[in-house]
Amino acid sequence: MNYWKNRRCNCIVVIVLLCFVANVLNAQNDEDDLLALLGEEEVTDYTYATFKANRIINLHSVENTAKGVLDIKISHRFGFINGGVSELFGLDQASIRIGADYGLTDRLMLGFGRSSFEKTYDGFAKFKILRQSKGTKNMPVTVSFLASTAINTVEFQDPDRENYFSSRMYYVFQGLIGRKFSESLSLQLSPTIVHRNLVRTSSESNDVYSLGIGGRMKLNKRTSFNAEYIYVLPDQLAPGYRNSFSIGFDIETGGHVFQLHLTNSTSMIEKGFITETIGNWLDGDIHFGFNVSRVFTVN
C-alpha cells in the first residue's frame, strides 16, 4: 500500500513540475514577444530602388549591381536627328558600348566596357559608402564613390612625333549623392573630376571639374521618366564643347531594363559625355539612344 502511495505522490510531483516548467516557458515566450514588440523601434529601415538601374542615363546612379550578379549592358546612340531624311534622322549612324558590371559585394561593384566611339576601353569601381535609412540609423541620403579609367586606342594624329602611351589615359573621380524623397521622386548630385593626361591646346585644362544633376519620376509600376544635366565649370574646355543634357524613360520588363532617351552626347562614358559633348539641342544635335540591361545570377 505504501508503494502505491509513493507512486501517486511521485506522479503528483512530476505533474506539478511539468506545469511549473510549462508556465515558465509560456512566461518566457510572453517576455520574448514583449521584447520583440519593444524592439521594433530599434529596426533600421533601408531605402531601396532610389533608381531603377545603376545608370540614370549617362551618369552612374547610386544603385549597385547586387552581390554575385552579372549585369550585361548594351548602350547605343544613333546619329544626330538633324541629319534629315538622307541620314534617316540619324539611324544610318551608330555608336555602341558593350559592358559588364559585377557585384563583388552588396557595396562594391566593378565594371568593364568597350566603346566604338574613339575605340575606348574603360573600367571602373563603385563603392557605396552610406545608405539612406530611417529608424535606429537615420541617414537622409545614399552616398557612393566612383573611380574609373579609360584608354583611347585611336591612332595618334601625328605618328612621327614622340607619342606616349600615358597620353591615351583618362581618369575620373566622382561622388554620387542621392535621395529618394518618395516612391515617385528621386534626385542625385554628382560632383566630378575628369583628368586628361593630354589635351589638344594649352587653353584647355587637364583637370575638368563639373557637377551632374539627375532625377527620376516614377510614372507607374514599370515606367519612369529620367533626366540629367552636367554643368562644366567655365574656362576648362575648348570652344565648341557644351554641357550634356539628356532625357528618357526607364521601362522594366522582368529581367530586362530598357532605357530609351534623347541626348546631345555621343560618348557613353564620363570622360566623353562630360568633356567631349558638341551637340546643341537648339540646332537639333540630338541622339536617340537606348541602354539595355540583362542580369544573371552568377554566385
CB contact set of 240 (below 8 Å; sequence gap of 6+): 278
pLDDT of residue 38: 52
The CATH number of 47-297, from 2.60.210.10, 2.40.160.40, 3.10.20.740, 3.40.50.300, is: 2.40.160.40
**Average predicted confidence (pLDDT) for the chain:** 85
Structural domain boundaries in the chain:
2-42, 47-297
Q: Model-level pTM?
A: 0.80
CA 220/CA 184 separation, integer angstroms: 9
pLDDT per residue as tens digits for the range 57-101: 999 999 999 999 999 999 999 999 988 888 888 888 889 999 999
Instruction: Judge whether 276 and 241 are in contact, CB under 8 Å.
Output: yes
pLDDT of residue 14: 42
Task: Extract long-range pairs of 120-125: CB within 8 Å, 24+ residues apart.
Answer: 120/150, 120/151, 120/152, 120/153, 120/267, 120/269, 120/271, 120/272, 121/150, 121/151, 121/153, 122/148, 122/149, 122/150, 122/151, 122/269, 122/271, 123/148, 123/149, 123/150, 124/60, 124/148, 124/149, 124/172
Tell me what the mean pLDDT of segment 136-150 comes to: 94
pLDDT at 11 over 70: no
pLDDT per residue as tens digits for the range 207-256: 999 999 999 999 988 899 999 999 999 989 988 899 999 999 999 887 67
